[in-house]
Amino acid sequence: MHPAPLVDLMKRAALPALCLLVMLYFGMHALFGSSGIFALDDIRRSKQQLSDEQARLAARRDMLGRKIGLLDPKGADPDFADELVRRHLGVIRPDEVIVPLDRGHQPGGSAR
């Protein structure tokens, strides 16, 4: 019986085996982890969805910025303010269309 060479062989193989297990662990995460190679398509799809949502929100922010500019107390647009007030007070009917008129060409009115 030669137990000493077997124990010696196991001692010498322990460090390379441990290194191999650590490399296998990180390799598996690189392939199958939440940000690994196989998740790349999902990551790209999520990125595209977020980019689309960002563009939609930027357009909405710009539209709201224009509306805020029309309601500036220093020079509010009277037509927009009238439309907004009528809509929120319920004075406008759903089938009614508000057509802004040029102040100088109102029927029966005078130019201001």
Average pLDDT over residues 19-24: 96
The per-residue pLDDT for 112 is: 40
| Inter-helix orientation angle 40-70/78-89, to 10° | 110
Structure tokens, 12: 């010498």
pLDDT tens readout for residues 54-100: 999 999 999 999 888 878 778 777 777 777 887 788 777 777 776 76
- Residue 93's region, left for phi above 0, alpha for psi from -120 to 50, else beta, is beta
Q: Taking the mean position of all CA atoms in its chain, how far away is CA 33?
A: 24
Q: What amino acid is encoded at 32 in this protein? A: F
- Give the whole-angstrom CA distance, residue 81 versus residue 64: 14
pTM score: 0.49
- Give the whole-angstrom CA distance, residue 64 versus residue 71: 11
Domain extents for the chain? 35-95
Name which residue leads in pLDDT, 96 or 32: 32
